[in-house]
Amino acid sequence: MFFSKYKKDIRRLKTALEEVEGKVARLEKENSGIQAALSGMVEGVIAVDRDTKIISLNHAVETMFNIRKEEAQGRLFLEAIRNNDIAEVINTVLQKKEAFSKELALVWPVRKIFQVSASPIFEDSRINGCIVVLHDITEIRKLEQVRRDFIANASHELKTPLTSIKGFIETLLEGALEDKENSRHFLQIIRDHANRLDALVNDLLKISGLESHAVPLEKEKTGLRILVDDILSGFKSQLKKKGIASVNDLSPDLSPFVDRNKIEQVFTNLIDNAIKFNRQGGGLKIYAQDSGKDVKVAVEDSGIGIPAKDIPRIFERFYRVDKARSRELGGTGLGLSIVKHIVELHGGSVGVESTEGFGSKFYFTLPK
């Protein structure tokens, strides 16, 4: 009788132990799933207790703030991540016991913009900590700024010639049309501004097509030396007028697979700039260097050069080193941006080396 009862107790204990082991196994499985999900998240996730000590953080946080999870766990938030702005968000949630969200532009320990969202953790109706989610929106804000700048610049570039056209037309309608000598001059100015508008709209359409990949690349084996010879012949009068000696030093064997029409635009824009911003009696040289997998093509001039402060922004849309001179020479401010887009579509990159007063070397790479 005694042993029978003992056996029943053992069976009950064994059953209870198996249930506990099953629950532990399920919890471990669930925890593994949660940890895997947190590790795979792009957003940074930090869990702190009511004393702001870090309970856990995911890999994204380690990357964002260059810290290790093992070193951060158990430490106060401000000891592990020295940022008062995020700490204030955590304290606000712990004090008010409600979710809170704020956009923060951090300068330390990283220079980024985050959307910080924090929610309280409750246990038995008492606040026991806080979960913080950090969403890096730096690139989004940069793109928004680029869009705003683009709209402002495009509006300005379109408004300037339109204002001039409108003014000269009103002058003609008010009586200047009868003055044959001046009316002809006014009409020539209107034509020039209309041409500028046409060039600007065409360049905007080109950039739009390149950015959206709406126009596919039609690659073919293209002899770059012959292509550049043809382009230089089109600039013959401009070269002669400024007394610029041009040298096409590209090898006849250099024939990469590229979209001929688009690469022609690249060379045309670079050569056009090299002539416009060159010195009277200067030089222009086009050559290439073999850099292994790629070929590096350069367009070098002996012109006025580019100030060091302007070089990082030279390929931006509408960016001009000398705005007045660029407009006077008929530039839209989009040529180098078009060059950059076309080259990058081909899998290459662009760059410039320049010293103010001693000329410039614009170059681009193309995969062989």
| Residue 357, domain CATH | 3.30.565.10
CA-to-CA distance for 342 and 349, rounded, in angstroms? 9
Token look-up 């300005």 returns: 156
For residues 220 and 203, membership in a common domain is answered with no
For residues 187 and 123, membership in a common domain is answered with no
Residue 57 parent element (H or E): strand 54-57
Residue 34 has a pLDDT of: 45
Residue 20 has a pLDDT of: 56
Domain finish residue from 196, 212, 228? 212
For residues 255 and 291, membership in a common domain is answered with yes
CA-to-CA distance for 309 and 321, rounded, in angstroms? 10
Range of the domain at 161: 149-212
Inter-residue contact 209 to 215 (CB < 8 Å): yes
For residues 13 and 127, membership in a common domain is answered with yes
User: What's the angle, vertex CA 99, arms to CA 109 and CA 96, rounded to 5?
Assistant: 95
For residues 266 and 338, membership in a common domain is answered with yes
Dihedral of CA 163/167/172/173: which sign? positive
For residues 201 and 323, membership in a common domain is answered with no
Per this entry, what is the length of the chain? 368
CATH of the domain at 187: 1.10.287.130
Residue 259 has a pLDDT of: 93
Q: Could you say which residues of the chain have pLDDT below 50?
A: 2, 27, 29-34, 36-37
CATH of the domain at 78: 3.30.450.20
CA-to-CA distance for 72 and 176, rounded, in angstroms? 79
For residues 207 and 228, membership in a common domain is answered with no
Residue 201 has a pLDDT of: 84
Residue 326 has a pLDDT of: 54
For residues 240 and 359, membership in a common domain is answered with yes
Domain finish residue from 212, 240, 263? 212
For residues 269 and 364, membership in a common domain is answered with yes
- Note the pTM of the prediction, 2 decimals: 0.63
Residue 323 has a pLDDT of: 58
Domain finish residue from 107, 123, 140? 140
Residue 249 has a pLDDT of: 96
For residues 224 and 367, membership in a common domain is answered with yes
Report how many domains make up the chain. Answer: 3
For residues 172 and 245, membership in a common domain is answered with no
For residues 10 and 111, membership in a common domain is answered with yes
